[in-house]
């Protein structure tokens, strides 16, 4: 019995030791850097699952720094060419059917993106969470030989955020295992779970992630990353409206 | 007529002026109640009709669950055919098919989220007052395709005028990207901010094509001549959708539950006023009967001495009140029905109401509802209140002692 108490104490000490070395802000920062890199280019497929139907699409994504993201749909043929550009918290969407670029108003950022369970804000992969939230390390555990940090992020008073809090489980190789979204009544609304992690371009990447609403278990959206390159040279005009309209 | 009734009747007319005054109070109260209740019920009828005529209609066929969740996929296949079938089967009222989708509307300068409706240009004016509220341009014509009618506030927000383009982006029924460009042909102004901010109507066929709806839509809307036809129309619609288990029929109460609640709360405040009126009349009856008992104390003493039982005396007072209240009710109902019947035919308008009605594409006069309920409810309560008021004077008689009563002043 003493053994287990001692072991527990040691474990506790080591846990606090680790958490003292690194702050919650650092963990979030590193996790964001890990999945965005300085620049990145990825190919992914998205599966939207509903009770009575399912739909798949494929897309290319590019990111640069914290605030620039471009998503372009490549399949199915009916939707190919549709794109979404996000720069500094602003978002535009382009559709070849009407050959027009439309700015997505701020009031629509929490609306779903093209019928999926991801919001426009989720798709812009904005790193607002870094500076608009107060982060706190609320726990940690071991999993598959990795240390996992549990971080609770509460938005600042003045932040324009719909969530009451977000809880992230981040592994010590900076892969986000779970990202929970809680509303202001402290109920969990949706959760982004990592289902598969693989090494790609020298980093561990969450290759299969699934966003699911808490109140409807048969409705989810899965994003499968088939290819990703980090820290590559991107054309200068990639994140511009004219490129959104006329891709080169 | 037996003796006691004759006695009661004659007693009433020993003070004809007093009796007439009390009866007059009852008649006045009854006429007022009949008029107010009929007007109130009539105005509810109008309130319901006006609210439903705006857009919702009396009855709608929808996909099961669409009312609560409003999901794109909860649609009705072959909706125009279903609407045609219902139109023929009903034989009265108007029927139109609609599709609804949430989309991002964008002009050159601004973007807003809107609920876009696909409507049948030839049938929509029958089920909704919106088409009659166009202030600039025109409503959709059956031949239109990439054309749109928007509310004035929405037009202002988007900074578009007649002939300008609005771009829409949303998701189709199959989850695909939906996009389209429509030219503004009409601007609708109802004066109600909420409506003017949200109305965006395009032809159903174009809507179906843009949102990959096939021949589908989301609601078959029925507008009937009046609320009385609702149950029959509901039944007819149900028989039509019997073969498709996914479809349901909703009546107006299910679609606009707030309407009945608003009426119930208004009704409650109305009844409070009526109660005050009825209590005042009851006190006037109490006053009359108490006076007539007190002034006849000596007479009652004599009658007791002659062998009449106190219970018979009390019954006498009861009969007098019954006769008086009955007279008040008969005259009140007669006068009240003539008045409200006239108004229900000729209509009734507050100053300025007709202009208001013209502006909102609504009827300019209101018609009190003449029904057994509106005619008899008020007078019946006044009648009962009068009888109740006679209980105290009658009870006093039970304790009357003959000798003391005869000596009373």
* Of residues B160 and A121, more confidently modeled: B160
Q: Which chain A residue has its CA at the smallest distance from B106's CA?
A: A102
Q: What is the structure's pLDDT at A1? A: 45
Q: Which of A59, A76, A79 to mutate to test the interface with B (most CBs of B within 10 A)?
A: A79
* Amino acid A17: pLDDT: 45
Q: Which pLDDT score is estimated for A170?
A: 92
Query: CA angle at residue A70 from A68 to A75, to 5 degrees?
Result: 165
d(CA B344, CA B99): 38
Residue A13 has what pLDDT?
A: 44
Q: Is the ipTM of this complex over 0.85?
A: no
Q: Are B77 and B153 in contact (CB under 8 A)?
A: no
Provide the shortest C-alpha distance from residue A48 to chain B (in Å): 9
Average pLDDT over residues A215-229: 89
- For chain A, the domains span 23-245
Predicted confidence at residue B259, as pLDDT, reads 86
Kindly list the residues from chain B whose CB atom is less than 8 angstroms away from the CB atom of residue A78.
Answer: 176-177
Nearest beta carbon to residue B111 from set A52, A76, A103: A103
pLDDT tens track for B39-84 = 888 888 888 888 888 889 999 999 999 999 888 889 999 999 999 9
* Residue B349: strand, helix, or coil: coil
- Residue B186 pLDDT level (bands cut at 50, 70, 90): very high
Measured at the alpha carbon of residue B218, what is the angle toward residues B66 and B147, in degrees to the nearest 5? 140
Confidence class for position B1, pLDDT limits 50, 70, 90: low
* Per-residue pLDDT, A11: 46
pLDDT band with cut points at 50, 70 and 90 for residue A19: very low
Q: Is A224 left (phi over 0), alpha (psi -120 to 50) or beta?
A: beta
Give the Å distances, CA to CA, from A197 to A67, A171, A192: 25, 11, 14
Contact across the interface for B176 and A78, Cβ inside 8 Å: yes
- Chain B from 68 to 97: CB within 8 A of any A CB: 72-73
B235 vs B230: CA distance, rounded Å: 9
Distance CA B183, CA B202 (A): 10
User: Using 50, 70 and 90 to split pLDDT, how confident is the model at A126?
Assistant: low
A50-54, A169-173, B239-243, range with the lowest pLDDT? A50-54
Check: CB of residue B72 under 8 Å from CB of residue B173: yes
A33 to chain B nearest CA, in Å?
31
**Confidence category of residue B218, pLDDT binned at 50, 70, 90:** very high
**Given B111, B112, B177, which is nearest A82 (Cβ)?**
B177
Q: Which residue of B has its CA nearest to A48?
A: B175
Give chain B's mean pLDDT: 89
* CA distance readout (Å), A140 to A133, B13, B78: 20, 98, 56
Q: Give chain B's radius of gyration (CA, Å).
A: 32
Element of type H or E holding B187: strand B177-188
Inter-chain touch A78–B175, beta carbons under 8 Å: no
Sign of CA dihedral B163, B167, B173, B174: positive
Q: What is the Cα–Cα distance from B331 to B341, expressed in whole angstroms?
A: 15
Question: What pLDDT was estimated at residue A125?
Answer: 64
Mean pLDDT of B99-103: 92
Q: Do A95 and B104 touch (CB under 8 A)?
A: no
B219-241 tens-digit pLDDT = 999 999 888 889 999 999 999 88
Report the C-alpha gap between B341 and B375 in whole angstroms: 10
Query: CB-based contact (8 Å) between B272 and chain A?
Result: no
Bridge partners, residue A180, by sequence: A167, A191
Question: B76 pairs with which residues across the strands?
Answer: B217
How much is the average pLDDT of B289-303?
87
Distance from CA of B113 to the nearest CA of A (A): 7
| CATH class of residue range A23-245 | mainly beta
User: Residues B262-267: contacts with CB within 8 Å, 24+ apart?
Assistant: B262/B47, B263/B44, B263/B47, B263/B48, B266/B40, B266/B44, B267/B40, B267/B44
Measured between CB atoms, which of B111, B174, B179 is closest to A104?
Answer: B111
User: Which residues have CB under 8 Å from B232's CB, separation 6+?
Assistant: none
Contact B208, B25 (CB under 8 A): no
Question: Where are the domains positioned within chain B?
Answer: 3-51+259-407, 59-223
DSSP A11-77: HHHHHHHHHHHS-HHHHHHHHHHHHH-SEEEEEEEEEEE-SS-EEEEEEEEEEETTTEEEEEEEEST
Q: What is the pLDDT of residue A153?
A: 92
């Amino acid at each position: 019995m003493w053994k287990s108490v001692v072991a527990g104490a040691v474990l506790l000490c080591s846990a606090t030791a680790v958490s003292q070395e690194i702050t919650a802000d650092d963990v979030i920062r590193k996790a964001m850097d890990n999945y965005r890199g300085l620049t990145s280019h990825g190919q992914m497929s998205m599966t939207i699952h509903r009770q009575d139907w399912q739909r798949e699409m494929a897309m290319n994504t590019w990111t640069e720094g914290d605030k620039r993201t471009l998503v372009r749909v490549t399949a199915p043929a009916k939707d190919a060419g549709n794109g979404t550009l996000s720069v500094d918290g602003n978002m535009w969407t382009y559709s070849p059917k009407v050959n027009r670029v439309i700015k997505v108003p701020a009031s629509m950022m929490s609306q779903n993106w093209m019928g999926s369970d991801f919001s426009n804000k989720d798709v812009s992969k904005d790193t607002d969470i870094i500076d608009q939230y107060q982060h706190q390390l609320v726990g940690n555990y071991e999993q598959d030989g990795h240390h996992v940090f549990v971080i609770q992020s509460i938005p600042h008073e003045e932040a324009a955020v719909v969530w009451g809090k977000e809880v992230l489980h981040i592994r010590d190789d900076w892969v986000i295992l779970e990202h929970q979204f809680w509303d202001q009544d402290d109920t969990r609304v949706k959760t982004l779970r990592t289902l598969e992690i693989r090494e790609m371009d020298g980093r561990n990447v969450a290759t299969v992630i699934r966003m699911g609403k808490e109140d409807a278990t048969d409705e989810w959206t899965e994003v499968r990353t088939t290819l990703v390159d980090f820290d590559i040279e991107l054309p200068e005009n990639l994140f511009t409206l004219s490129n959104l309209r006329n891709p080169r | 007529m037996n003796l006691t009734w004759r006695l009661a009747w004659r007693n009433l007319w020993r003070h004809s002026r007093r009796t007439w005054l009390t009866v007059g109070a009852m008649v006045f109260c009854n006429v007022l109640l009949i008029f107010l209740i009929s007007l109130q019920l009539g105005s509810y009828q109008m309130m319901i009709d006006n609210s439903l005529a705006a857009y919702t209609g009396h009855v709608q066929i929808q996909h099961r669950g669409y009312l609560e969740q409003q999901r794109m996929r909860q649609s009705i296949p072959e909706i125009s055919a279903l609407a045609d079938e219902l139109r023929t089967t009903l034989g009265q009222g108007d029927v139109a098919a609609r599709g609804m989708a949430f989309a991002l509307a964008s002009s050159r300068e601004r973007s807003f989220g809107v609920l876009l409706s696909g409507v049948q240009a030839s049938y929509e004016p029958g089920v909704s007052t919106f088409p009659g509220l166009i202030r600039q341009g025109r409503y959709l014509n059956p031949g239109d395709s990439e054309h749109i009618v928007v509310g004035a506030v929405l037009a202002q927000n988007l900074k578009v005028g007649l002939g300008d383009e609005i771009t829409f982006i949303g998701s189709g029924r199959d989850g695909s990207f939906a996009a389209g460009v429509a030219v503004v042909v009409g601007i609708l102004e109802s004066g109600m901010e909420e409506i003017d901010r949200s109305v965006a109507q395009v032809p159903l066929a174009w809507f179906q094509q843009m949102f990959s709806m096939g021949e589908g839509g989301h609601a078959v809307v029925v507008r009937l001549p009046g609320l009385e036809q609702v149950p029959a129309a509901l039944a007819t619609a149900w028989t039509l959708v019997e073969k498709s288990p996914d479809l349901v029929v909703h009546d107006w109460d299910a679609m606009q539950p707030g309407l009945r609640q608003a009426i119930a709360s208004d009704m409650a405040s109305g009844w409070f006023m009526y109660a005050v009126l009825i209590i005042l009349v009851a006190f006037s009856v109490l006053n009359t009967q108490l006076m007539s008992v007190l002034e006849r104390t000596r007479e009652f003493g004599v009658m007791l001495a002659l062998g009449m039982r106190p219970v018979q005396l009390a019954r006498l007072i009861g009969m007098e009140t019954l006769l008086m209240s009955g007279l008040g009710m008969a005259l009140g109902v007669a006068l009240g029905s003539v008045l409200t019947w006239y108004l229900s035919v000729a209509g009734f308008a507050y100053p300025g109401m007709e202009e208001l009605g013209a502006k909102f594409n609504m009827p300019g006069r209101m018609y009190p509802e003449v029904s057994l309920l509106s005619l008899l409810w008020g007078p019946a309560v006044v009648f009962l209140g009068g009888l109740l008021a006679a209980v105290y004077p009658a009870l006093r008689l039970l304790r009357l002692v003959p000798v003391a009563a005869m000596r009373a002043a």
